[in-house]
């Protein structure tokens, strides 16, 4: 990777290769999460391949037509199945971020930024929160499908932590035993290397203590695999996939994942009266706009409940 990534790179005797510029973006200090780095490679490597295919090996030669052409092509998906609006948004967002980085760090001031007027609006995705019955069923399935009592206790403690702390999957797998204090406060390592503190209930802390009492080994991870190593993203995804497969009827039309549990926790807290400001802090959101999504979901759920109770056709 080329070390020089300053705003005078266009003065170099030999212009940097496009992949060197991409590497400098992906390896920049703002991208610290392994998942973020992996995702950037998944969205931007195909973009660079597309540019090479069209004879572009210089970052200053990228034009708007190249960006729009790639988005059109990638939107068609593979095997005749087009990408979802969410996936198209992910590609567009990362390409915009990369080219804006090029404009700031690798190009002269007069360079016409090709993404300046390309819109990138996040599509509205409705995540169905789990009902209380579905949550109870999830605990039953997670414990019943476990290969041992140790894993059953881990699954229960892990699910309680996800729901009680409203944790992201990445936050869960990064938690260490030392992050949990005796008073039930948990230090969470969130996005952008930010940390926050969440208060876990006595039920959750008791479940974690019970799991740790059964566990042997020297790992400092709070939750580990059956072999004693820290859990990864794929392991978490696999667990939720297995649980849904074990009782697909109970989770029909439900995207069972750690994020769904986070959404469920946020929605239930808002329904229970937690203020939007407090919820924003608890979830670790940078802006209130992100939290407002959960407020809207909670209000819709509450309104629908009242609407059923007051329906004018009940007595007909």
* pLDDT over threshold 60, residue 61: yes
Q: How far is CA 272 from the centre of its chain?
A: 25
Segment (H or E) for 25: helix 18-26
Nearest to 92 by CA among 65, 120, 66: 120
Give the count of beta carbons closer than 10 Å to the beta carbon of residue 61. 13
Task: Judge whether residue 21 has pLDDT over 50.
Answer: yes
Find the mean pLDDT for residues 54-81. Answer: 90
Locate tokens 């938690």: which residue? 175
pTM beyond 0.95, yes or no: no
Q: Average of pLDDT values for 197-212?
A: 93
Burial 144-177 (b: 16+ CB within 10 A, else e): ebbeeeebbbbbbbbbbbbbbbbbbbbbbbbbee
Locate 5 and state its tokens: 């990534």
* CA distances, 205 to each of 164, 165, 263 (Å): 10, 11, 21
173: its two tokens: 């797998």
Bridge partner list, 197: 187
pLDDT band at 301 (very low <50, low <70, confident <90, very high): low
Give one DSSP letter per residue of 48-106, joined into a string: HHHHHHTT--SGGG--HHHHHHHHHHHHT-BTTBPPPHHHHHHHHHHHHHHHHHHHHHS
Residue 40 and residue 26 in contact, taking contact as beta carbons nearer than 8 Å: yes
- DSSP classification of residue 122: P
Q: Which CATH architecture has domain 9-105?
A: Orthogonal Bundle (1.10)
What is the structure's pLDDT at 124?
66
Q: How many whole angstroms separate alpha carbon 199 and alpha carbon 165?
A: 7
Residues 6+ apart with CB under 8 A from 28: 101
| pLDDT of res. 194 | 78
Who contacts 71 (Cβ-Cβ below 8 Å, separation ≥6)?
88, 91, 92, 95
> Which two tokens mark 279?
């919820």
Q: Indicate the burial class of 248 (C-beta count within 10 angstroms; 0-12, 13-18, 19 or more).
A: exposed
Rounded CA-CA distance 190/315 in Å is: 51
Residue scoring higher pLDDT (269 or 288): 269
pLDDT attached to residue 140 = 97
Please give the pLDDT value at position 11.
Answer: 42
pLDDT tens-digit readout, 234-268: 999 999 999 999 999 999 988 899 999 988 988 88
- pLDDT band (50, 70, 90) for residue 127: confident
Domains of the chain, residue spans: 9-105, 132-309
At residue 9, the pLDDT reads: 41
Give the CATH number of domain 132-309; options: 3.40.50.150, 1.10.540.10, 3.40.1410.10, 1.10.443.10: 1.10.443.10
| Strand segments (E) across 140-248 | 185-189, 195-199
pLDDT mean across residues, the chain: 84
Give every CB contact of residue 309 below 8 A, 6+ residues apart in sequence: none
Q: How confident is the model at residue 2 (pLDDT cuts 50, 70, 90)?
A: very low
Q: Which residues pair with 180 in a beta bridge?
A: 186
d(CA 111, CA 104): 10
Determine the distance from the C-alpha atom of residue 103 to the mean position of all C-alpha atoms in its chain, rounded to a whole number.
27
Highest mean pLDDT among 25-39, 131-145, 254-268: 131-145
H or E segment to which residue 133 belongs: helix 132-144
Distance (Å, whole) CA 193 – CA 308: 44
Span 270-286, mean pLDDT? 77
């Amino acid at each position: 990777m080329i070390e020089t990534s300053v705003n005078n790179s266009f003065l170099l005797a030999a212009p940097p290769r496009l992949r060197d510029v991409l590497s400098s973006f992906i390896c920049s200090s703002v991208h610290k999460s392994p998942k973020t780095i992996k995702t950037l490679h998944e969205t931007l490597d195909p973009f660079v391949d597309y540019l090479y295919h069209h004879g572009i090996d210089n970052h200053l030669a990228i034009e708007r037509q190249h960006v729009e052409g790639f988005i059109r092509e990638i939107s068609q998906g593979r095997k005749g199945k087009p990408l979802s609006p969410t996936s198209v948004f992910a590609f567009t967002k990362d390409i915009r971020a990369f080219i804006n980085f090029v404009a700031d760090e690798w190009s002269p001031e007069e360079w016409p930024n090709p993404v300046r007027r390309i819109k990138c609006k996040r599509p509205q995705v409705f995540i169905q929160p789990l009902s209380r019955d579905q949550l109870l069923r999830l605990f039953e399935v997670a414990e019943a499908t476990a290969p041992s009592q140790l894993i059953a206790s881990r699954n229960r403690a892990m699910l309680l932590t996800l729901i009680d702390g409203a944790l992201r999957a990445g936050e869960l797998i990064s938690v260490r035993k030392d992050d949990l204090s005796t008073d039930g406060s948990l230090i969470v390592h969130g996005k952008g290397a930010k940390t926050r503190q969440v208060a876990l209930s006595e039920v959750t802390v008791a479940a974690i203590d019970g799991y740790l009492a059964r566990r042997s080994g020297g790992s400092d991870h709070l939750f580990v695999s059956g072999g004693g190593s820290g859990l990864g993203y794929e392991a978490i995804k696999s667990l939720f996939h297995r649980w849904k497969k074990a009782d697909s009827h109970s989770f029909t039309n439900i995207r069972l994942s750690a994020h769904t549990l986070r959404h469920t926790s946020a929605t239930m807290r808002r329904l229970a009266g937690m203020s939007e400001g407090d919820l924003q802090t608890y979830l670790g959101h940078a802006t209130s706009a992100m939290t407002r999504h959960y407020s809207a979901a909670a209000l819709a759920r509450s309104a629908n409940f009242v609407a059923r109770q007051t329906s004018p056709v009940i007595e007909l």
